[in-house]
Amino acid sequence: MQSRMPVIIDFYADWCGPCRTLASIIEKVAEIYDGKVAVCKMNVDENPSTPNRYKISAIPTVILFVDGLAVEKVVGLHDIDFYKELLDKHLYKPEVISEEIVEDSDAEVASDHTL
């Protein structure tokens, strides 16, 4: 899966009660993260080979892809705060700063603590 932004896929079936409940939660997630996360739905009955590929044995299942890799797999029904926390964890990672800056700040800290 290739995308510039993270992708969340909701694997569901029309006959699944928890899947129907999750659908409204996933719609809210799509609104909140519009432009930051691509949100997709995959009906497992209409696309039986795709769930097998990702070893999905129960629904609802949500998989989060970042840089083309499946980084989170969530089985079952969870509230919107759970999904917000999950996405924020992957969207707002601290950025790595230059090694030179780290070395300079380490030297300053070391000089501040000399006896």
Edge-first strand order for the sheet with 7-12 is 38-43, 7-12, 61-66, 69-75
Tell me, yes or no, whether 92 lies in a domain.
Answer: yes
Domain contains 68: yes
Average pLDDT over residues 4-18: 95
Q: Calculate the alpha carbon distances from 106 to 47, 94, 97, 110 in Å.
A: 54, 19, 13, 6
Range of the domain at 81: 7-112
115 has a pLDDT exceeding 80: no
- What are the tens digits of pLDDT across the range 13-69? 999 999 999 999 999 999 999 999 999 999 999 999 998 999 999 999 999 999 889
Per-residue pLDDT reduced to its tens digit, 73-108: 999 999 999 999 999 999 876 544 444 444 444 444
pLDDT score recorded for residue 114: 39
84 occurs within a structural domain: yes
pTM of the model: 0.77
Q: Please count the structural domains in the chain.
A: 1
Is 104 strand, coil or helix? helix
With respect to residue 16, please indicate whether it lies within any of the assigned structural domains.
yes
Distance between CA atoms of residues 81 and 94, nearest Å:
21
Q: So which residues are the catalytic ones?
A: 16, 19
Would you say residue 76 lies in a domain? yes
- Residue 1 falls within a domain, yes or no? no
**Residue 2: predicted pLDDT:** 60
CATH number for the domain spanning 73: value is 3.40.30.10
- Asked if 42 contacts 97 with a C-beta cutoff of 8 angstroms, the reply is no
Asked if 38 and 3 count as a contact pair (C-beta separation under 8 A), the reply is: yes
Instruction: Indicate the burial class of 46 (C-beta count within 10 angstroms; 0-12, 13-18, 19 or more).
Output: exposed
With respect to residue 45, please indicate whether it lies within any of the assigned structural domains.
yes
